[in-house]
């Protein structure tokens, strides 16, 4: 079995390469050598051996910068997604695309299901929703995995950002009124490997189970890391970031859990695993 992974150097991409290796022959593509928005580069791959599976984890992921770099964000997350999904379709191979909890507006007070209506508050969310639609239209064999608050090795994620702040601060302030589903990139890579065996194409909420505030996430991470610094809960309105974010964007992963025939482990268990691998 052969899999082509786009965005193979990103925090999810690296885990995908690790997790698929062994069972699959893996070939990774990423910037600067390979640009998913360049049609001639993308279609030149048709001269290579046809893969059994295509995974698109390449993305424009800077949520705040996307508010300014609108065209570039749509180019990667929508146009690039369409090209990769179409490429896979020409090989008659299924495609995996990753989307986000930021396609929802956060007005709900129960976990979002796949059937809930998207209404992104920021440009990044709009580009990822457009990418979902482009992927669906270009390739009927699609798995769209919506994830959230992703963290893993080599990523500029929220947990690592807060850890780096410790060097220069005497205390950290973290919002307690932003609730979501933190997800470990390693778990998402495992989920991907399992779901592509089902041929049950469609949209899935692929997150670790449970929910927490950004404050509880950092409290737990710092406690596991034995970082002793005061952590103060605050309101998210304290940080005036360019992109609006949903206050509540917990994703319900029961559809995924049913199709895989297993529970998805909780965010706190996954976090413990990440911290222990990180400190090893
Ligand atoms: N991070 C999160 O919290 C989060 C939350 C929800 C959903 N997601 C989604 O999950 C997926 C994986 O995210 P991630 O955190 O692993 O992202 P990431 O660490 O930013 O990785 C994305 C990779 O794609 C590459 N890339 C960007 N533009 C490209 C292009 N035009 N052609 C080829 N490669 C390109 C990036 O290269 P450069 O680094 O050189 O730009 C990077 O290696 C994405 O679809 C993302 O939207 C992420």
User: Which atom of ligand 1 is closest in space to residue 8's alpha carbon?
Assistant: 43
- pLDDT computed for residue 22 by the predictor: 86
91 in a structural domain: yes
183 lines ligand 1 (CB under 6 A): no
Calculate how far, in angstroms, residue 139's C-alpha sits from the geometric centre of ligand 1: 21
- pLDDT computed for residue 8 by the predictor: 98
82 in a structural domain: yes
- pLDDT computed for residue 156 by the predictor: 82
274 in a structural domain: no
Q: How far apart are CA 60 and CA 71, in angstroms?
A: 11
Ligand 1, atom 45, residue with closest C-alpha: 98
243 in a structural domain: no
Which of 97, 98, 112, 124 is an active site residue? 124
Q: How far apart are CA 168 and CA 192, in angstroms?
A: 38
Name, in order, each residue with C-beta under 8 angstroms of 86's C-beta and a sequence gap of 6 or more: 138, 139
180 lines ligand 1 (CB under 6 A): no
pLDDT tens sequence for the chain (280 residues): 999 999 999 999 999 999 999 899 999 999 999 999 999 999 999 999 999 999 999 999 999 999 999 999 999 999 999 999 999 999 999 999 999 999 999 999 999 999 999 999 999 999 999 999 999 999 999 999 999 999 999 888 999 999 999 989 999 999 999 999 999 999 999 999 999 999 999 999 999 999 999 999 999 999 999 999 999 999 999 999 999 999 999 999 999 999 999 999 999 999 999 999 997 7
55 lines ligand 1 (CB under 6 A): no
124 assigned to active site: yes
Q: How far apart are CA 17 and CA 13, in angstroms?
A: 6
59 lines ligand 1 (CB under 6 A): yes
Structural domain total, the chain: 1
- pLDDT computed for residue 62 by the predictor: 96
- pLDDT computed for residue 279 by the predictor: 79
173 in a structural domain: no
115 in a structural domain: yes
Query: Measured between alpha carbons, how far is residue 65 from residues 54, 58, 60, 150 in Å?
Result: 28, 17, 10, 18
Please say whether the beta carbons of 132 and 99 come within 8 A: yes
Calculate how far, in angstroms, residue 56's C-alpha sits from the geometric centre of ligand 1: 9
150 lines ligand 1 (CB under 6 A): yes
Burial environment of residue 247 by CB neighbours within 10 A (0 to 12, 13 to 18, 19 or more): middle
Which residue range(s) make up the domain with 79?
Answer: 2-157+181-209+251-266
Burial environment of residue 168 by CB neighbours within 10 A (0 to 12, 13 to 18, 19 or more): exposed
Per the listing, tokens 């062994």 go with 22
15 in a structural domain: yes
Q: Give the CATH number of the domain where residue 76 resides.
A: 3.40.50.720
Query: Which H/E stretch holds residue 161?
Result: helix 158-165
Calculate how far, in angstroms, residue 92's C-alpha sits from the geometric centre of ligand 1: 25
272 in a structural domain: no
11 lines ligand 1 (CB under 6 A): yes
∠ CA 126-127-130, nearest 5°, is 85
Please say whether the beta carbons of 122 and 243 come within 8 A: yes
């Amino acid at each position: 079995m052969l899999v082509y992974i786009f965005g193979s150097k990103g925090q999810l991409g690296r885990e995908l390469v690790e997790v698929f290796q062994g069972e699959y022959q893996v070939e990774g593509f990423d910037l600067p050598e390979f640009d998913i928005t360049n049609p001639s580069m993308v279609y030149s791959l048709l001269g290579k051996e046809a893969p059994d599976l295509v995974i698109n984890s390449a993305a424009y992921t800077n949520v705040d910068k996307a508010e300014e770099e609108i065209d570039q964000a749509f180019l990667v997350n929508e146009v690039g997604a369409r090209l990769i999904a179409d490429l896979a379709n020409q090989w008659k191979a299924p495609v995996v695309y990753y989307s986000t909890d930021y396609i929802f507006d956060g007005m709900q007070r129960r976990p979002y299901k796949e059937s809930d209506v998207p209404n992104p508050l920021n440009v990044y969310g709009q580009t990822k929703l457009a990418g979902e639609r482009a992927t669906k239209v270009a390739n009927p064999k699609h798995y769209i995995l919506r994830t959230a608050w992703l963290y893993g090795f080599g990523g500029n994620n929220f947990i690592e950002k807060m850890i780096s702040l410790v060097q220069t601060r005497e205390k950290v302030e973290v919002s307690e009124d932003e609730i979501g589903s933190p997800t470990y990139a390693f778990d998402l890579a495992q989920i991907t490997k399992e779901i592509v065996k089902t041929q049950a194409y469609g949209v899935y909420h692929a997150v670790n189970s449970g929910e927490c505030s950004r404050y509880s996430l950092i409290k737990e991470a710092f406690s596991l890391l034995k970082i002793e610094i005061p952590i103060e809960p605050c309101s998210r309105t304290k940080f005036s970031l360019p992109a609006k974010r949903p206050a509540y964007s917990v994703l319900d992963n029961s559809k995924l859990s049913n199709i895989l025939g297993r529970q998805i482990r909780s965010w706190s268990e996954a976090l413990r695993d990440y911290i222990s691998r990180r400190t090893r």
